[in-house]
């Protein structure tokens, strides 16, 4: 059914109700499918998707057909559906994101070469840190973060660093999204934690998720001085790691300042 056909069949009363709830119910269903699949490590069948979203199979069938035709999802065997990389590609092609990545990558390659450590670029989206760029260490061993992967902002140095350097309105919006997505309350010491990071200008601490890794994370700031991303070096003490933590801190500080200036920060 086309969008025009759907509009014709919607009564004035229904339209008024939709204005109060949502303007495009078909779009809403499609986004429900995308958001559900985004949190799955394996594909889901049509019946599983319908059950999870409390929709009928006939409703979901139309959504899946459309999303598959547009390339957002694909069947992953056994009639199960998974997201494709189309959304990730669209994000990378979005002009602000594309510019951020293009400015950050040369700096990240230089940092990886200088420090003999890997580094990654993360942004905050819907209460999670999304990894937009990753540069591996020029060594036989290293700690790597999967490109496009996501992690809870409360479990990532990048998340705390971005939060600490957002303006008040953006910080409140980020925390509201995080609470809506997770159903949890922020840590009791969050305000003090963010204040300390803001005072220092960065975070250096043991990884929230991996033993033996120390995260060095600095914010990338926009023209208003608010954080839009963070570059993080997950430091591991291997045989080729000859750069001191103090030197890594200064190199990463200079690198993120360079990226910030390139995207418009005035200092």
SS (HEC) of 69-96: HCCCEEECCCCEEEECCHHHHHHHHCHH
Which contiguous run of DSSP H or E holds residue 119? strand 119-125
Q: How many domains does the chain have?
A: 2
The pLDDT assigned to 77 comes to 65
The pLDDT assigned to 92 comes to 60
The pLDDT assigned to 143 comes to 83
Task: Evaluate whether residue 163 is within a structural domain.
Answer: yes
Please state which of the ranges 88-92, 111-115, 204-208 shows the lowest mean pLDDT.
Answer: 88-92
Q: Give the CATH number, domain containing residue 151.
A: 3.30.450.40
Percent with pLDDT over 90 in the chain? 45
Residues 220 and 116 in one domain: yes
224 Rama class: left (phi>0) / alpha (psi -120 to 50) / beta: alpha
The pLDDT assigned to 131 comes to 93
Task: Evaluate whether residue 210 is within a structural domain.
Answer: yes
Task: Evaluate whether residue 109 is within a structural domain.
Answer: yes
Residues 138 and 75 in one domain: no
d(CA 84, CA 98): 20
The pLDDT assigned to 59 comes to 85
Mean pLDDT highest for which of 10-14, 62-66, 74-78, 160-164?
A: 160-164
Task: Evaluate whether residue 244 is within a structural domain.
Answer: yes
Of 16 and 166, the one with more pLDDT: 166
Domain interval for residue 63: 25-89
Q: Give the CATH number, domain containing residue 61.
A: 1.10.10.10
The pLDDT assigned to 266 comes to 59
Q: Which tens digits make up the pLDDT trace of 180-200?
A: 888 999 999 999 999 999 999
> What is the mean predicted confidence (pLDDT) over 119-124?
95
Of 155 and 41, the one with more pLDDT: 155
Q: With 90 as the cut, is the pLDDT of residue 240 above it?
A: no
Instruction: Confirm whether pTM is higher than 0.85.
Output: no
Of 49 and 40, the one with more pLDDT: 49
What does the mean pLDDT of the chain come to?
84
**Backbone phi, then psi, for 122, in 5-degree steps?**
-125, 145
Please state which of the ranges 70-79, 241-250, 256-265 shows the lowest mean pLDDT.
Answer: 70-79
Q: With 70 as the cut, is the pLDDT of residue 151 above it?
A: yes
Token reading at 112: 């990886």
Residues 219 and 173 in one domain: yes
> What is the mean predicted confidence (pLDDT) over 57-70?
87
Q: With 50 as the cut, is the pLDDT of residue 34 above it?
A: yes
Task: Evaluate whether residue 5 is within a structural domain.
Answer: no
At 102 the three-state DSSP class reads helix
Neighbouring-strand partners of residue 203: 217
Of 15 and 96, the one with more pLDDT: 96
Percent with pLDDT over 70 in the chain? 85
Task: Evaluate whether residue 240 is within a structural domain.
Answer: yes
Residues 162 and 41 in one domain: no
């Amino acid at each position: 059914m086309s969008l025009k056909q759907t509009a014709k069949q919607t009564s004035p009363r229904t339209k008024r109700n939709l204005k109060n709830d949502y303007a495009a119910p078909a779009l809403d269903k499609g986004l429900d499918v995308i958001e559900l699949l985004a949190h799955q490590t394996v594909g889901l069948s049509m019946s599983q998707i319908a059950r999870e979203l409390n929709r009928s199979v006939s409703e979901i069938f139309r959504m899946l057909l459309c999303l598959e035709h547009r390339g957002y999802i694909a069947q992953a065997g056994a009639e199960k559906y998974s997201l494709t990389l189309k959304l990730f590609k669209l994000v990378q092609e979005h002009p602000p994101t594309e510019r951020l990545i293009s400015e950050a990558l040369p700096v990240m390659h230089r940092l990886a070469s200088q420090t003999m450590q890997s580094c990654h670029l993360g942004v905050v989206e819907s209460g999670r840190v999304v990894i937009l760029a990753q540069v591996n260490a020029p060594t036989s061993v290293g700690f790597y973060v999967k490109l496009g992967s996501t992690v809870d902002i409360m479990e990532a140095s990048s998340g705390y660093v971005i939060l600490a350097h957002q303006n008040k309105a953006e910080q409140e919006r980020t925390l509201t999204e995080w609470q809506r997505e997770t159903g949890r309350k922020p840590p009791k010491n969050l305000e003090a934690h963010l204040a300390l990071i803001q005072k220092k200008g960065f975070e250096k601490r043991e990884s929230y998720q991996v033993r033996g890794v120390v995260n060095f994370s600095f914010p990338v700031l926009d023209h208003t001085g608010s954080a839009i991303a963070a570059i993080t070096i997950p430091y591991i003490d291997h045989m080729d790691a000859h750069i001191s933590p103090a030197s890594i801190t200064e190199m990463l500080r200079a690198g993120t300042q360079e990226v910030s200036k390139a995207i418009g920060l005035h200092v």
